[in-house]
Structure 1
Amino acid sequence: MLPRAFLACLAALCLLVPSAWAQISLSAASSSVLVYADAAANGAVQLRFQIPKTLSYFALGTGSKMSGSDIVVVWQNTDGSVTVSHRQASGHSLPSPVNQQAISIVANQASKVAVPSNVYVATVIVPSSWASSSSFIWAYVTGSLPTSNDPNAATFVQHARNTRGIIQGSLLTSANSFKSGSPSTPPPPKSSNGAPSPPGSNNGNNGNNGSSGNTDTDDITGGDSLPDFTVAHGYLMTFAWLVSTPIGIFIAQFFKERWHNWWFRLHQFFMFIGCGVLALVGFWLIFYQKQVAGDYHFSYADTGLHGILGLILTVLMLIQIVLGVVIDRLYNKDRTSVPFHDKLHWYIGRLVTLLAIVNIILGCILYVAPTWIYVVIGVWLALVVAVFVLLKVQQTRTRRAKPGDAEQHSLSRPKQNKPLQGRY
């Protein structure tokens, strides 16, 4: 009698359990994004997104990396309407809008489980190519909404490393179908690093069934355990090229006669340690990070001109260091003209410095740096140019007052109290 009553109660409870469960439940901030998928007409795929309103946007794309990914970006506008933008990624820059007619927003199907008030729903038909993809990338951002309701004109803030990930496996599985899913009890949603959320954590279920799906822990990855070296890379490169390099150049250009023994030592310090070592550390950090993430840092499709130009600058910088050492060893105090290798060192240095400034700006654009970064760089460069002009004017006046000093300045070192190796 008791077993029968128990089974009857269990059957009654099963009738109350919804028939659709999301295979994909992604922890996003303090809530979860749910993604369902069903086959649509003509081989297309119908995606149903349940997205917390606290997110600026949620993006899902084909493949395992940005380059070449076919992406849909979903966000809710201030008037409550939903925009879905069809994008094509070419690397770690803002994905470009592509044929918006290839996707379509359709009416949302009624859910057997009440959708929480802090969540909005969007159902989108995507191209048939999505059905054959075996991996997908996802990302989200909290905060300010995209700049426009227009799917072609809108721009977005770039996601962080811990707000992105990869989904392995096909979307079109019975467990992930919104129309005919399994009524089995779902596991807790995944956290951003692919592990189940700890017991008692705020995983976005809000007490409602159906907030997470049937999937193994390995199905969702992302949120690498390594720290994000992008910011460290940016600061190191900025200090190396915008602070240390100008100081090293100014010392060699304007302070030989004044500082005697010390100018060359300081020039070596700022150019070798301040620029060379810091730039190499910054280069290694971003290269290592990209390799771990499975990205190719020197691909134009992946990082645009920034990655390629960064490699060229690093090679030229190493050539400059070697050339400086060679020039120092070949210095002849009795020379009557400026050797070719000296002039080569000068002009490579100027070229590398200008290219480095350009590449820093390209890096800021690539990683969508905030406005204040551009302001700080602009003010600093203006200050550097102003100081250079003032020192150059002062140097010109001094040399005019002492005829013959200008030529002697490039041919020999100033008088020193102690023998010192140096290229000037």
Structure 2
Amino acid sequence: MRHSMDKESSLKVPYHQDPAEKGEILPDDVAVTANEDNDVVLAFITNLDPAIKDEPISAKEYRRVRWKIDLCILPLMAGTTILAAVDKNVIGNTAILGILEDANLTGLEFSWIGSLFFFGYLIFEWPMAYLIQRFPVAKLLSVTVMGWAILAMCTAATHNFAGLAVVRFLMGGLESIVYPTNSILTVMWWTRAEQPVRTAIWFNTFSTAFTGIVSYGIGRTDTSLSQWRLLFLVLGGFTVLWSALLWVFLPDSPVKCWQLTDREKWVAIQRVRDNNTGIQDTTFKWYQVRELIIDPKTWMLVVFAAAQNIPNGAISSFSGLIVRGFGFNTLQAILINLPTGVLGTCFQIILSIPSAKLKGYRCIIIACANFVPLTCATFLWQLPRSDRHGLLASYLCFWTYFTPYVLSTSLPMANTSGHTKKVTMNALWFIAYSLGNILGKLLVGPCNM
């Protein structure tokens, strides 16, 4: 889905997957795609010492800078994804920690609380796409993380469906920024060949382990405060601290990364020159939006994203209730859900390697990855309810369901050029994500209550 780049200045260069193949990268192999009045990279290059630009980049230096980027940027992106999923999906554990009784919720109301989060996600996606276009992505991300952390803590003060609905809706609106910003940061820092593995790492499902450990500890406490309220306070407080770390350590672009020297910033820019997607441009270009909308590939990706997230909507809010339905008690259900995210993340990292190495086979790998959760879903449907161990094994392996979606996340960004087009594609992609989650919760919710 390579779109035309008229109205933007770019210097096309041959594609080199790895500098080690040719020994070194010459400084005149530059490709910077941006609006010349707004792109911060152009300003940096203009003022950069010519001696830094003239020195060839060796393969060793290339790999050293990549390793430094992995250490400085990737953990922050992965941690943010984990905490976003924790604050989003913790509602599933609160269902077995007393929220249904304390807030007098019916099964349908609890299902709507999960769905309203994604309605907020859906409605705020376009405004967030505009804010991403207008403001530095890292600082904007930090502020919104602080906002939803405060809302998570405010959830502990709610007493009925109305209060929970408002808080969850607003949380969904603020969390809608996480995956679009991470996708933009991915193409900003890593080459196309590197993106599948990095995406599989930051788009992880380790949140179930984190939530499970905290939930289990709180489930064993005996305090005057309801366990589900204490859970929201603890997790929200941790997210507040994380937002401060993002403000200090996550840079808005390679040229603003204080952890890198000027030479390393220059190398970082050269690494992604073949992406032809720009670094940072704050001008909103409507012609790029029109090009994106009339491209049929855009809507193929949108339908795919929505369909892949129906299972996620079903399982994320009702995981505790599902496992307890197998005959386990509350604390056992929490412990059983601990490794689910780890299993899912390991599966997606394993498949991301051939997805990155085998050119032209990524979509085939994505399609094949769906067979595992499909088989497990069939077992969950057909096995007798008395076969507790068979149901449990099928349930645990079913958590590989998110892998196809994760592997496909880099597709719309890697094949879309122009900053406006990227943020718009991101918005459409995660609108589809929201619709799939909403549908999954509303289809499955009342049946599991």
Query: Structure 1 length as normaliser, TM-score?
Result: 0.30
Name whichever structure is richer in strand by fraction: 1
Query: Structure 2 length as normaliser, TM-score?
Result: 0.29
For CA contacts below 8 A with separation 6 or more, give which structure has more relative contact order: 2
Name whichever structure is richer in helix by fraction: 2
